[in-house]
Structure 1
Amino acid sequence: MAEALESSVPEVGGYAIDEVTGDVGRIEEITAVYVLLGPIGGGQSWQAEPGHVRPVTVGERLSAGVKVANVRMFDPREVGGGWT
């Protein structure tokens, strides 16, 4: 059975996946030419073509959040990260 999508149409503030890169991001802006996505956990936003962006599944959203948490925990260069 296919996993349910977070919503049927991505909108600003929601989460989407860039099918070209496989990265999940929060939608910051939508135009006819591009969708501006901001990475979960912060960082440099990127532009994706609207035809290559789709809503995330609940699993994809959770997986992206866990990935960010793991990096912050184990990478001492991240704010609050690393073993002290």
Structure 2
Amino acid sequence: MCAEDDPLGEQKPQQVPSTGTLLVDTGRRDQVGEFRGTAGPYWSLRPVSGGREWEAEPANIRAPSPMERLRAEIARCNARSEGRVL
């Protein structure tokens, strides 16, 4: 899900995902988070099991692999069962 380069070497802007989309921030050691919105040139992500949001550069964002998506969904279910996430 990285921005593509055009022939002139300029980066095309990435399409902003819908709220709640799972994404991986490669700038934070491949941490998986939910897209929450934009903050200037950055995207706001939140850990799937709850916690503080962080801002990520769109160039460092990619789609999660099937295993990363599964781990994130399990973490969300566990947090919900423990009352940490509504």
Task: Report the Cα distance in structure 1 between the residues aligned to 2:83 and 2:64, rounded to whole angstroms.
Answer: 27
User: Residue 10 and residue 55 in structure 1: after superposition, are their counterparts in 2 closer, same or farther (change >3 A)?
Assistant: farther
State the TM-score, normalized to the length of structure 2.
Answer: 0.60
- TM-aligned CA deviation for residue 71 of structure 1: 7.7
Q: Point out where structure 1 has 5 or more consecutive residues left out of the alignment.
A: none
Gaps of 5+ in 2: 2-14
The residue aligned with 1:11 is 17
Shift of 1:12: 2.4
Per the TM alignment, residue 49 of structure 1 is displaced from its structure 2 partner at its CA by 0.4
Q: How many residues align?
A: 69
Runs of 4+ in 1 over 2 A off after TM superposition: 64-73
SS of 1:20's partner is helix
AA of the residue aligned to 1:46: W
Maintained 8 Å contact 2:49/2:75? no
Amino acid at match of 1:54: R
Root-mean-square deviation (CA), in Å?
2.7
